[in-house]
């Protein structure tokens, strides 16, 4: 039984890594239809595996599906962190906080919606839209009046954001009774109380959660990113602790009784399924890759390599760090939202900063600055630690699963000793390569034209 399970999980993990390779390879093909076919196939293969049943035994049990969804959300968070830490060189522990913010934000929206209250969506949606407008407005004004010190700029942004939030609460509060007949309530279901509407609300709640996390990261990152690397790390640790503390006290010091503070939020509709996970996984992969493989992405790398030289090259280092930080946090917010609707129960303990080391470990484990490595490590990590070890050790005795937190650090230590650059170093597959996009093709053509000698055609980082 143990051996069978061991073989089964190794095969599944290998198959998933193969699936990732295929997906990235296909997405890296030049033609749009090739990409489309890849996406459909990659989706279909897993969907078929989920549906497939041989007698009583499911090929992909509910447990495995759960692992898959967790692996995908972890991938989103870790890819965002890799952008911040791996590509931009900013050691951040705040990623888990943004994950928590995203999870709670979207859970609150859908929870209220299913209990017949549309105000969550209205207030949060209006809040993020007005907040974004306020930030853009202040940014534009500050650009006109140059030379404003960073802390003053921060104050202006903060005031604008608070004002936007206040306006959103007032406006949303005024609008929701007006719109209530259309949205419906538990007593009198309205037009939009249909399952389809719920799916739409779910989608909107994910986007709002991401946007909200991004706005928070902007206002937090603005003053803090100017700190040096270690100090920035400490500041982000502070952020993670603040988020957790606020979540623990969400029903007392924050006006969200439905979040139930430290007791944990229950009753979140379990709307996450493979379609949603896959769609957002692709979205995140595309966002991160398009960011990294661009002029902005190169500037991001330059900031990691040498900030002073980057400045001397005309790169606005502060702005660049902020961009990477906001995009990374946005992605973490999306991941959090998906996770909340998979698990259906949120407790502040899951968003403790200790847990926040998990994506950090994954990013380092997979290879700093390797997007492929991050994905592979996320999948490997979840399937190994949460799946295989938990089940395998569970058969040895009821206390044995605790040993997984001993076994996996040992595995980590060994890997770091053998491969300090991480599992994949900076190697990339297919879609993530510099060589498969138009620039890469131009690059290969040019390299052929200049007739490189020896190892000249190697991609960076090999």
Partner 1 sequence: MASIKTGDTILSIKKATKAFGGLLAVKDLDLELPKGAIQGLIGPNGAGKTTAFNLITGVIPITSGAISFEGERIDGLEAYEVTRLGIARTFQNIRLFTNLSVLDNVRIAYHSHAGYGLGDSLLRSRRYAEKEKELTERAMDFLGIFHLDGLAFEIAKNLPYGQQRRVEIARALACAPRLLLLDEPAAGMNPKETLELMDYIHFIKDRFDLTILLIEHQMRFVMGICEYITVMDFGEEIARGTPAQIQVNERVVEAYLGKGAAKIAAS
Give the residues lining the site for partner 1 (CB under 8 A): 147, 287, 290-291, 293-299, 301-302, 305-306, 308-317, 323, 426, 438-439, 442-443, 446-447, 450-453, 456-461
Q: Which is nearer to partner 1, 155 or 457 (CB)?
A: 457
Q: Which is nearer to partner 1, 10 or 286 (CB)?
A: 286
Q: Which is nearer to partner 1, 112 or 289 (CB)?
A: 289
Q: How far apart are CA 119 and CA 135, in angstroms?
A: 23
DSSP states along 184-210: B-SSSB-TT-SHHHHHHHHHHHHHHHH
Residue 270, classed as helix, strand or coil, is coil
**Shortest approach of partner 1 to residue 265 CB, angstroms?**
33
Which of 342, 208, 331 lies closest to 273, judged by CA? Answer: 342
> Any alpha helices (H) in 52-118, and if so which ranges?
62-81, 95-114
Q: How far apart are CA 362 and CA 373, in angstroms?
A: 9
**Shortest approach of partner 1 to residue 203 CB, angstroms?**
19
**Shortest approach of partner 1 to residue 369 CB, angstroms?**
8
Q: How far apart are CA 223 and CA 150, in angstroms?
A: 6
Are 413 and 419 contacting, i.e. CB atoms less than 8 angstroms apart? no
Q: 3-state SS string over 377-407?
A: HHHHHHHHHHHHHHHHHHCCCCCHHHHHHHH
Q: How far apart are CA 106 and CA 316, in angstroms?
A: 33
**Shortest approach of partner 1 to residue 147 CB, angstroms?**
7
Cα–Cα distance list, 319 to 206, 225, 322, 324, 340 (Å): 26, 10, 5, 9, 31
Q: Which is nearer to partner 1, 61 or 294 (CB)?
A: 294
Q: Which is nearer to partner 1, 270 or 441 (CB)?
A: 441
**Shortest approach of partner 1 to residue 367 CB, angstroms?**
13
Q: How far apart are CA 404 and CA 98, in angstroms?
A: 27
Q: How far apart are CA 210 and CA 392, in angstroms?
A: 36
**Shortest approach of partner 1 to residue 335 CB, angstroms?**
18
Q: Which is nearer to partner 1, 271 or 287 (CB)?
A: 287
Q: Which is nearer to partner 1, 300 or 374 (CB)?
A: 300
Q: Which is nearer to partner 1, 407 or 427 (CB)?
A: 427
- Ranges of beta strands (E only) in 251-397 are none
**Shortest approach of partner 1 to residue 307 CB, angstroms?**
10
**Shortest approach of partner 1 to residue 48 CB, angstroms?**
30
- Residue 223: which residues within 8 A CB-CB, separation 6 or more? 150, 151, 154
Q: How far apart are CA 304 and CA 86, in angstroms?
A: 8
**Shortest approach of partner 1 to residue 40 CB, angstroms?**
20
Cα–Cα distance list, 43 to 2, 11, 21, 36 (Å): 30, 19, 14, 11
Let me know how long the chain is.
462
Q: Which is nearer to partner 1, 7 or 446 (CB)?
A: 446
């Amino acid at each position: 039984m143990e051996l069978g399970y061991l073989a089964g999980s190794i095969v599944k993990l290998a198959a998933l890594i193969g699936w990732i390779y295929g997906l990235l390879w296909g997405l890296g093909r030049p033609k749009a239809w090739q990409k489309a076919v890849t996406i459909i196939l990659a989706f279909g293969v897993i969907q078929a595996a989920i549906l497939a049943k041989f007698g009583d035994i499911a090929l992909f049990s509910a447990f495995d599906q759960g692992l898959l969804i967790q692996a995908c959300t972890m991938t989103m968070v870790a890819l965002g962190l890799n952008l911040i830490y791996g590509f931009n060189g900013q050691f951040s522990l705040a990623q888990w906080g943004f994950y928590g913010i995203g999870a709670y934000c979207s859970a609150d929206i859908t929870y209220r919606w299913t209990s017949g209250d549309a105000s969550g969506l209205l207030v949060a949606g209006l809040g993020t839209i007005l907040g974004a407008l306020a930030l853009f407005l202040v940014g534009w004004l500050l650009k006109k009046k140059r030379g404003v010190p960073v802390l003053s700029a921060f104050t202006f942004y903060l005031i604008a954001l608070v004002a936007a939030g206040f306006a959103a609460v007032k406006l949303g509060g005024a609008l929701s009774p007006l719109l209530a007949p259309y949205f419906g309530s538990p007593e009198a279901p309205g037009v939009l109380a249909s399952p389809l509407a719920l799916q739409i609300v779910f989608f909107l709640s994910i986007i709002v959660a991401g946007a909200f996390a991004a706005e928070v990261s902007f206002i937090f990152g603005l003053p803090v990113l100017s700190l040096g690397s270690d100090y920035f790390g400490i500041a982000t640790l502070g952020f993670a602790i603040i988020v957790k503390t606020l979540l623990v006290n969400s029903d007392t010091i924050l006006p969200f009784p439905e979040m139930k503070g430290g007791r944990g939020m229950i009753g979140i509709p379990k709307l996450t399924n493979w379609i949603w996970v896959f769609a957002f996984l692709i979205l995140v992969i595309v966002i991160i890759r398009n960011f990294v493989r661009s002029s902005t992405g190169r500037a991001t790398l330059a900031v990691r390599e040498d900030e002073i030289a980057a400045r001397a090259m005309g790169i606005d280092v502060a702005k660049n760090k902020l961009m990477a930080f906001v995009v990374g946090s946005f992605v973490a917010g999306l991941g959090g939202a998906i996770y909340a609707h998979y698990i259906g129960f949120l407790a502040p303990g899951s968003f403790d900063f200790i847990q926040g080391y998990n994506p950090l470990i994954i990013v380092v484990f997979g290879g700093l600055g390797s997007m492929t490595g991050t994905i592979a490590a996320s999948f490997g990590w979840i399937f190994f630690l949460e799946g295989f070890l938990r089940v395998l050790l569970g058969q040895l005795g009821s206390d044995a699963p605790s040993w997984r937190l001993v076994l996996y650090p040992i595995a980590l230590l060994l890997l770091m000793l053998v491969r300090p650059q991480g599992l994949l170093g900076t190697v990339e597959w297919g879609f993530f390569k510099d060589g498969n996009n138009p620039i890469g093709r131009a690059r290969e053509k040019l390299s052929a034209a200049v007739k490189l000698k020896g190892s000249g055609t190697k991609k960076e980082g090999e």
